Structure 1
Amino acid sequence: MSAPHENLHPETLAVAVGRPANEPDQPLNVPLVLASTYIAGGDLEYGRYGNPNWTAFEETLGALEGGRCLAFSSGQAATAAVLDLVPIGGRIVVPRHSYQGTLGQLTLGEGRGRFAVTKVDIADTGAVVAALDGAALLWIESPTNPALEVADIARLADAARSAGVLVVADNTFATPMLQKPLELGADIVLHSATKLISGHSDVIMGAVVTRDDALLAELTTRRSLHGAIPSPLEAYLALRGLRTLPLRLERAQQNAQELVRRFEGHGALTDIRYPGFGTILSVVLPDAATADAFVAATSLARHATSLGGVETTLERRRRWAGEAQTIPVGLVRISVGVEHVDDLHRDLGGALDAALRADVNGAADEPADQSIMKG
């Protein structure tokens, strides 16, 4: 692989790192290596221990986050490996509004007596710090999904360090282009690479990044023993997406900011939630029925879970039974894509107008049996 790149901007790192050697007849990209077994005597030996496509991806994301990266089969697999670091009976402090898959793993683990869980408002720094006494791990999600609360990562990490608490930061929404938790004091950064990192809604993959050699070794062991490895094709596609992350993020963020400006004061909305950065915004309509009418009226934006693709998607989050009851029933999360903002505004604004005209009263019935692990 290529030598380390120093003094380069993140936009350049995303393009330049993880390439084959700069020599005649070398390909520009690491070719897809479909191998379960390697000739003995080298570093790879077996496909569960390494793959050139993983390595290229890991070098690039690691350079962007400022640490060393491990690729996993999914964000959930990466989460499971991190949670496995918590000793039996340890306590985990987590945002009350978090990715449902994370909360689902915590609920299962707590129910089995594996660990205890304390939920906090991650934007209330004082309350989070107070909850750290005796904890084993602080899980930070910032911005949160789907409430979009922002944590003071630096202050929380400093307090956690003083209390001997491991800090994990889910950086899926912000990405290293907007926020670098390791530089702010986090011990581990976690990504669902499925989302903005890969960016094309065709990959399921996860990653962790750390500067701590001991943590890296422990997580590597867990990945190998549990078989939580990505396929070479997934890693190849994720790296291909990562190359354009700076461009995609810049365009989608500009679109999100402009949509927030244009939606301000719209009669169908009771609230607009946007932290000022990133590609995700949430709008709140008066009730579930009106929110469902809004979602159903779009044609360019697609009704789908997950987020971070080049296309705009949206969904009413409380349609999932596992969503926190403190999330309004009329909240619709919008993952803004890279389309022209005028087209997005025409589509979404027209759908809001239609929902307002419908003047539907009363909340829609909540689903009785939906999965708790949705995007």
Structure 2
Amino acid sequence: MVQAGRPAVTPDGPVNPPIVLSSTLHAGGEHGYMRDWNATLDAFEQALGALDGGKCTVFSSGMAAANAVFDLFPQGSAVVASQFSYTGVTVRLKELHELGRIQLRLVDITDDVAVEKAISGDGEPASWVWIETPTNPMMEICDIEATATVARHFGAYLAVDSTFMTPIRQRPLELGAHIVMHSATKGIAGHSDLLMGALVTNDSALAAKIIDRRVLLGAVPSAFDSYLALRGLRTLAVRIDKAESNAQIIAERLANHPKVSAVYYPGLGGHKNADVAKRQTDGPGFMLSFIVDGDAEDAERVCQAIKLVTYATSLGGVETLMERRRRWPSENVAVPENLIRMSVGIENPNDIWADLDQALNSTGSVNPQTQPKIGY
């Protein structure tokens, strides 16, 4: 991770790969244009691919990467997906279903029997399975290895969105998945200053199809963003270690707070499928969700009362972020109105907790918010 993707060692040569700001390439090579290859993108792809154990292709956003996979779904085929997923993914999959492109089967991914039934389809097996684990924002845990075994048995491809965990904590390809997807915007880059997605596979035929999707759909990240993402990747391990340590502390304190009725975090013993999480990951991660005792207004009051923590969407940056997910109009209606998702950062955990505690005990007024768009 620290050394991957660096230039060859030469006397007085650079330690870091340079930012190559050229979309045009001289004729005579195997690539020909930046949509297919760029030296700075390649350096980041080499490093991330090494972490995940496969061939990496980067895209201009997480949604661009997800849509590249969706473009591989055969016309009219069945696709199994998590009942709780990132809002943009859910909206897009439902669009494809309504257009007749796919037959969408949503499933509780914590239930192995239900997952197998959805994949097998009573004689009409799925062509693809798309899961998040942990899910956004309910923090559900799917048994990747068990799901991969079933998917392969029925001839389906398994793609795993591992954004919440990053390859430092979870490597789905090692557990039998065909593709791992990351919104590299989040924990991988880690500084809330770029948009990027990535797909990694150890299947050479799929890798070729993925790069073709980037070339034909045109969702290519910039060289500058790729440089920043690689720089962020260098510190991924130490950032995740600190953020995860903080998250464990915050989750335990939230679980004992009188204004909190539930906490969803794989590091807590009572979390459903915590044993699965422990088996397939190297730690519980930096993401958690909790339910404020009360209603949507009470949860909104907590979000508006924070001072150190940032009230914002997104996740995985060095700063702690939180938001009430149902403020987004397209969020799954099964997500409780009073649920707050938190991305724990690397600040002093006592500072995070002091701010969160005072916000939970706040009795201030709630200011009206501008209606957001689809959801992020």
TM-score normalised per structure 1: 0.92
SS at match of 1:107: helix
**1:42 Cα deviation after fit:** 2.2
Deviations 1:249-289 (A, max 9, x none): 00000000001122222111110111111111111012101
SS at match of 2:289: strand
- Structure 2 residue 86 is matched with structure 1 residue 99: yes
Deviations 1:231-263 (A, max 9, x none): 101111111101111010000000000011222
Aligned match for 1:335, one of 336, 343, 355: 343
- Contact 2:301–2:365 (8 Å) recurs in 1: no
State the one-letter code of the partner of 1:139: W
Deviations 1:9-62 (A, max 9, x none): xxxxx1010000012121011110100112212234222221111100000000
Tell me how far apart the structure 2 counterparts of residues 89 and 370 of structure 1 sit (CA, whole Å): 32
Tell me how far apart the structure 1 counterparts of residues 353 and 128 of structure 2 sit (CA, whole Å): 42
Q: Which residue of 2 aligns with 1:308?
A: 316
Q: Which residue of 1 aligns with 2:117?
A: 130
Any stretches of 5+ residues in structure 1 without a counterpart?
1-13
- Contact 1:97–1:146 (8 Å) recurs in 2: yes
Out of 183-192 and 344-353, give the one that drifted further: 344-353
Tell me how far apart the structure 1 counterparts of residues 251 and 217 of structure 2 sit (CA, whole Å): 43
- Contact 1:318–1:366 (8 Å) recurs in 2: no
Tell me how far apart the structure 1 counterparts of residues 359 and 256 of structure 2 sit (CA, whole Å): 15
**1:107 Cα deviation after fit:** 1.4
Q: Which residue of 2 aligns with 1:271?
A: 262
- Structure 2 residue 288 is matched with structure 1 residue 281: yes
Deviations 1:180-219 (A, max 9, x none): 1000000000000000010000010000000101001111
- Structure 2 residue 191 is matched with structure 1 residue 189: no
Deviations 1:70-93 (A, max 9, x none): 011111111111011110001111
Q: Which residue of 1 aligns with 2:373?
A: 371
SS at match of 2:85: coil
**1:358 Cα deviation after fit:** 6.0
- Cα 1:240/1:366, change in 2 over 3 Å: closer
Matches within 5 A, 1:167-246: 167-246=158-237
Matches within 5 A, 1:53-64: 53-64=40-51
Q: Which residue of 2 aligns with 1:69?
A: 56
- Structure 2 residue 17 is matched with structure 1 residue 27: no
Matches within 5 A, 1:131-146: 131-133=118-120, 134-146=125-137
Count of residue pairs brought into register by the alignment: 355
State the one-letter code of the partner of 1:353: N
Q: Which residue of 1 aligns with 2:72?
A: 85
Matches within 5 A, 1:320-331: 320-331=328-339
Tell me how far apart the structure 1 counterparts of residues 62 and 365 of structure 2 sit (CA, whole Å): 40
Tell me how far apart the structure 1 counterparts of residues 354 and 329 of structure 2 sit (CA, whole Å): 31
- Contact 2:309–2:319 (8 Å) recurs in 1: yes
Any stretches of 5+ residues in structure 2 without a counterpart?
268-283
Tell me how far apart the structure 1 counterparts of residues 248 and 141 of structure 2 sit (CA, whole Å): 17
- Contact 2:295–2:337 (8 Å) recurs in 1: yes
Matches within 5 A, 1:245-264: 245-264=236-255
SS at match of 1:104: helix
- Contact 1:321–1:366 (8 Å) recurs in 2: no
Tell me how far apart the structure 2 counterparts of residues 165 and 47 of structure 1 sit (CA, whole Å): 32
Tell me how far apart the structure 2 counterparts of residues 43 and 77 of structure 1 sit (CA, whole Å): 24
Q: Which residue of 1 aligns with 2:353?
A: 345
Q: Which residue of 2 aligns with 1:159?
A: 150
Deviations 1:282-317 (A, max 9, x none): 110121011011011100011101111000111000
**1:127 Cα deviation after fit:** 0.4
CA RMSD of the aligned region, Å? 1.7
Q: Which residue of 1 aligns with 2:27?
A: 40
State the one-letter code of the partner of 1:240: R
TM-score normalised per structure 2: 0.92
Runs of 4+ in 1 over 3 A off after TM superposition: 357-360, 364-367
- Cα 1:244/1:178, change in 2 over 3 Å: same
